[in-house]
Every structure is written in structure tokens, then in C-alpha cells.
Amino acid sequence: MEANASRSARARVREELAKEILDAARGRLAVEGPAGLSLRAVARDLGMVPSALYRYYESRDALLTALIIEAYRGLGERAEAADRSVPPDDLPKRWFATTDAIRDWGLTHPQEWALIFGSPVPGYRAPQETNAVAAAVYASLGRLLRDAWRAGRLHPPPVTIPADLRVDLSSIGETVVGEAPDEVAVAAVVALGHLLGAMSLELFGQYNNAIFARDALWQIRMELAARAAGLDLPPR
């Protein structure tokens, strides 16, 4: 019993220190950006020797992967909670609740947003394990569009989908829109492109000294994004 208790205490200590390391790394992202992240700098911020840090994260890439997974998980949870807070059949309200939640998360986590949606980090290749948590973010919008399609309230614009693109869309369909046809998967990609583009313009300073009524612009852009994807919205 004492041995089990001792292992449990060590596990809690290790978990807490791993969290502190991630918090310190997020602070470093704000100063140096993802490309400048180093284990030595994080260790120095925590008053640790670098060799101690390597017992938790064996490399800079391992630390970046942990940060990416946590960012995707946090964003995905925020989007899903917003979607599930609205009655399932109120599709327009679900759309705006979900997209607003994604924007709110991005505005309060700009460094993490840049990490997962900004420029690729030189020399870093994200492992396969990041795909599942990334899919959770996209699944909130995909689930909404799939529900709209099932209800006959999604009418994507008619487009010709080449065979090679249909191959790409097959994996998106499995993880994002389920059994819905490829046209719904295209609608999800279109909607996500509008959303990510709008957020990146805002977060990366492209509106500075030009657009000040950003809440209003966001609402208009998300309405246009929904219509571009084919989602029925009532007149506003």
C-alpha cells in the first residue's frame, strides 16, 4: 500500500512539473515564437538544469508537440462546449456560438493560435498523434454542417469535384462529416477556410489602423461563411 501511495505521489509531482514546463514554454512562445523555442531557455525560466527538463521532454520537438496537442485540445473543447450549449435544431445559433467561441479562444491564446495555424516551424514535423486532436476542432463545424444536411437545411453550391480531390475528401468525411456526401465535406473545408482566414487577419495585425469595429466585421464574415458553405440562415 505504501509503495502504491509513493508511486501515486511521484506521479502527481511529475504531472505538476510537466504542466509547469508547458506553462513556461507558452511564455517563451510569446517572446521568441515557436521557431525560437529552446529547452535551455525554458529550463532557465524554471530554475532547472536542462538535463532535468530532458527527462520530461526529450527534445524541442517533443515539447512543441505537447504544446500543439494542448492547444488543439483546448480549442476543440471550447468549440464543442459552445456547440452543445445550444439546442441541436437551432442551427444558425449553433453556428454563431461555435465560431464565436473559436474566435474568443484565439484572441485569448494568440501564441497558441499562431503555433497551430501560423507558419510552419522550420525543421519541425508534426507527428501523427496531432491529427486526432486537430480533427476534434474541425469536427464541431463538421457535425453542425452534417446535421444541417440531414435536416435538409444545407445546400452547398453545385461544384465539380475532381476524382483526386474526392480521395482527399474521403478521410475528411470519415473524421469530420461522417456519412455525408463529398459536397458537405467541401462545405466544411470552405467554412473552415473562411474562419481561419478571418482569425489570422485579425490576430496577425492585418486590421491594425484600418478596421476597429472588429466584432461587427466578424459577425458579417461568419454569416457570409455560413452562406458560402450552403447553410440556411434567416434574414438578419
Reading the block at residue 141, the C-alpha cell is: 463545424
Q: What is the CATH number of the domain that holds 183?
A: 1.10.357.10
Same domain, 189 and 108: yes
Same domain, 150 and 208: yes
Dihedral sign of CA atoms 147, 152, 154, 159 in order: positive
Decide if pLDDT at 5 tops 80: no
pLDDT single digits (tens) 100-150: 999 999 999 999 999 999 888 888 888 888 887 888 778 888 889 889 998
Q: What is the CATH number of the domain that holds 7?
A: 1.10.10
- Using CA atoms, how far residue 103 sits from 77, 100, 151, in Å, is 13, 5, 27
Domain that holds residue 46: 1-58
Percent residues over pLDDT 70 in the chain: 93
- Has residue 64 been placed in a domain? no
Q: Number of structural domains, the chain?
A: 2
